[in-house]
Amino acid sequence: MAELVRVRRLTDQEGQKLQRIVRRGSTSSVRYRRAMMLLASAGGNRVPVIAKLVQADEDTVPHVIHRFNEIGLACLDPRWAGGRPRLLSPDDEDFVVQTATTRPTKLGQPFTRWSIRKLAAYPRKVHGCVIRIGREALRCLLARRGVTFQRTKSWKESPDPERDAKLDRIEEVLKRFPDRIFAFDEFGPLGIRPTAGSCWAEQGRPERHPATYHRTHGVRYFHGCYSIGDDILWGVNRRKKGAANTLAALKSIRAARPDGAPIYVILDNLSAHKGTDIRRWAKKNKVNLRFTPTYASWANPIEAHFGPLRQFTIANSNHHNHTVQTRALHAYLRWRNANARHPDVLAAQRRERARIRGEKGIRWGGRPFQAAA
């Protein structure tokens, strides 16, 4: 059997950045889709599933994965060549880029950041290296070399002493038992307010939503479950996170495999996921919990599928109440599961599941799972 195409193990910074792009969207559709491919591959999704998820050709996904393994996150922004010959030498360009990425105070300048005007003027005054470059040419040079104007941000690495061991355990079950692995997570809070998004419209006539001043509906949290083997996503909205709602979700996952054989559930380290009742029930019902490392929720395979769920149901919406919002989420989930994979593969899997449920006398359908809101 040919070796599966998969991204290398992500670092904490890479995983957090990909997760941020998928969750919040991006002004570049190419960047957004490529980030979704990488995050889905890191979660153990196979190439056909990823291609269907992002509506791309199956030959494109391995290309993006291989490029990431070679050059890292630079593969999110493909570059095209062309144009007239450059007027600056490579050494001059390196000097300008190095200056732009150096804090001005270290070069004796009385400000904390560069502006285009200040940066273009500085190389003309350096003793022994006079470089003349216009502001527009400077902008093009910085963009070509991957230097952009960004907000200063804090960052954190996983302090989990068992980080590598936990990632190894997750990768082990993804390879050995792909048809018996599930993922669980929550996302939110989901409020009742007009949410910005994007849509097709006549130029200069975008769709508009009213502003809100009083928000009295409270918030909800979507509790999602994902079957990696079947590529099926389901879940419900709850008023809050809690051990009772987590246990209800795990019971719905256990019902998805009613044959009594062990199953594996990937979830993060939230305290509501690790209560005594949950561990006792999981041990009794052969549910093996595989926790992601601290601050590494990107390792959960469900994260890649939360991005489209948010973009197509929450973004560009103006739900009147939580009931309408929940109906919209469930309508999208039904559509997504019906179009998740190649029809012949999905139909065969559903027939097999129906046969097993019929033999066991277990009904799995309707609402995904029940618990006190």
What angle (nearest 5°) sits at the alpha carbon of residue 214, between those of residues 209 and 218?
100
What angle (nearest 5°) sits at the alpha carbon of residue 32, between those of residues 29 and 33?
85
Mean pLDDT, range 242-271, rounded to an integer: 89
Residue 23: enclosing H or E segment and its boundaries?
Answer: helix 12-24
Q: Are 238 and 223 in contact (CB under 8 A)?
A: yes
Tokens in use for 80?
């095209």
**Per-residue confidence at 126, pLDDT binned at 50, 70, 90?**
confident
Tokens in use for 189?
């809070």
Write the DSSP symbol of residue 178: G
pTM of model > 0.75: no
pLDDT score of 353 more than 80: no
Tell me the one-letter amino acid at 219.
V
CA distance 119 to 140: 13
Mean pLDDT, range 219-226, rounded to an integer: 90
Residue with tokens 């849509």: 199
- pLDDT the model gives residue 341: 61
DSSP helix/strand/coil, 264: strand
Residue 75: enclosing H or E segment and its boundaries?
Answer: none
Q: Are 120 and 96 in contact (CB under 8 A)?
A: no
Nearest alpha carbon to residue 51 among 35, 42, 62 = 62
CA distance 36 to 49: 12
First CA to last CA distance, the chain: 47
Top pLDDT among 25 and 244 is at 244
Which of the residue ranges 54-63, 106-115, 361-370 would you say has the lowest mean pLDDT? 361-370
Residue with tokens 């029930």: 281
**Sign, Cα dihedral of 55, 59, 60, 66:** positive
pLDDT score of 349 more than 80: no
- pLDDT the model gives residue 281: 92
Which of the residue ranges 169-183, 328-342, 343-357 would you say has the lowest mean pLDDT? 343-357
Nearest alpha carbon to residue 174 among 35, 89, 301 = 301
The pLDDT tens digits for 71-99 are 988 889 887 666 666 677 888 888 889 89
